[in-house]
Every structure is written in structure tokens, then in C-alpha cells.
């Protein structure tokens, strides 16, 4: 990556350097497993926090139907589908923050492997199908809004998804510090530390 490309990365971005490249395939996959697992847990935690806000503010909504919907339970399928949608877009955001197509090739390869590994973490929807369905989004803000809408629909909010999407959208808009922290840990922590850490 050229110095100009590095300078154009978002402020506060963890800048991947050649020394962060795993030295062997076994090391890469150990770090990859840690990375994908931590990202999945982080997305799930963020979503749970957002849904708690939805519940706490349920009675501020206009109409009994919306209030009841805000207090609904979520099946495992609904919740996992929403997590997968958000997780895939987090990984896309990470790739873009590292320079997109101009990023160092090995980090793009690492992130592509991570993207594919999300299908092991949560089988459906397929990661490739998730990402390909956003081809119409032209801006980062539009991508975040559409992802929040789809996550809301996955959670069973149906035609009322636009009411609840704004509570979920910050998971994407404000994801940089969390994503960057996880990537930095995954690529810089000693392997014995990574292997000993619980994925929480």
C-alpha cells in the first residue's frame, strides 16, 4: 500500500503492516479462527444491546401493535440471521477500511477467508448471498441503513422494520473501534495468548 493510500484510511484505523502477516498457514488459521469468533460474538453483543433499547423504549412507540412488536421474542433462526447479516457487512467495512481493492494483498486474502468462515459460524444465509444482495448501495450510509433494515426484517419486524432499523443502524455506523480492536488483537497478540483467551 502506498503512503498516499495509508493517509487516506479513516482516522484511528489500525493500519496493517507487513510484519502483521502470519508467518505460516497454521498460524494464519489460528488467528483467523480467533478473529471470526470474536467478530461474531461482538456483533451478537451489539445486537443484543440494541434490542434491549428497543424493549426499553417500547412504550414510547405510537400504537399498541408497534409496542407489542417491540417486546416480541426472537427465535434462534431470526437472531442468527440478523447477526449473520451484520457480521458480513462488518467484514466488508473492514476490507474497505484497509484500502479496499488497493489494500495489501495478504490482508484482503485473510478477510476473504474470514468472510467464508462466517458460513461455518452461521450457515444461513450464505455470506456470498448476503454481500451480493447489496450491489445497489452507492454510499456507506446507504449500506448501513439497508443492512439495518434487513436485520430488522430478519428479526421478524416485517413491514414495521423501518421503525426499528434506526436503533440497529449504529451497530454499523459506529463499528470501527470494535472492529479495529478485534483485528489488531487477532494479528498482533502472541499465539499462546490467543489460544488461552475465551471468545467472549
> Would you state the pLDDT for residue 11?
55
Q: Where in the chain are the domains?
A: 24-187
Q: Give the chain's mean pLDDT.
A: 92
In degrees, rounded to 5, the angle at the alpha carbon of residue 86 between the alpha carbons of residues 165 and 156 is 50
More confident of the two residues 154 and 138: 154
pLDDT tens string 164-194: 999 999 999 999 999 999 999 999 999 999 9
Residue 72: CB atoms within 10 A of its CB come to 14
Cα angle 131-71-73, degrees, rounded to a multiple of 5: 60
- 149 membership: H or E segment, kind and range: helix 140-154
C-alpha dihedral sign at 150, 88, 192, 185: negative
What integer pLDDT is reported at residue 6 of this predicted model? 39
Gap between the Cα atoms of 193 and 187, Å rounded:
12
Amino acid at each position: 500500500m502506498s503512503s498516499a493510500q495509508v493517509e487516506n484510511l479513516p482516522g484511528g484505523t489500525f493500519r496493517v503492516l507487513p510484519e502483521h502477516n502470519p508467518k505460516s498457514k497454521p498460524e494464519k488459521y489460528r488467528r483467523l479462527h480467533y478473529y471470526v469468533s470474536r467478530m461474531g460474538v461482538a456483533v451478537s453483543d451489539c445486537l443484543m444491546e440494541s434490542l434491549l433499547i428497543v424493549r426499553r423504549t417500547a412504550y414510547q412507540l405510537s400504537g399498541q401493535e408497534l409496542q407489542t412488536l417491540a417486546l416480541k421474542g426472537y427465535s434462534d433462526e431470526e437472531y442468527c440471521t440478523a447477526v449473520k447479516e451484520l457480521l458480513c457487512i462488518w467484514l466488508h467495512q473492514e476490507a474497505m477500511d484497509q484500502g479496499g481493492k488497493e489494500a495489501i494483498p495478504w490482508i484482503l486474502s485473510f478477510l476473504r477467508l474470514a468472510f467464508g468462515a462466517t458460513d461455518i459460524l452461521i450457515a444461513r444465509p450464505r455470506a456470498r448471498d448476503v454481500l451480493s444482495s447489496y450491489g445497489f448501495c452507492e454510499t456507506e450510509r446507504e449500506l448501513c441503513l439497508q443492512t439495518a433494515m434487513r436485520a430488522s426484517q430478519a428479526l421478524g419486524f416485517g413491514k414495521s422494520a423501518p421503525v426499528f432499523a434506526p436503533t440497529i443502524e449504529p451497530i454499523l455506523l459506529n463499528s470501527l473501534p470494535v472492529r479495529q480492536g478485534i483485528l489488531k488483537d487477532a494479528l498482533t497478540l502472541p499465539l499462546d495468548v490467543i489460544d488461552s483467551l475465551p471468545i467472549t
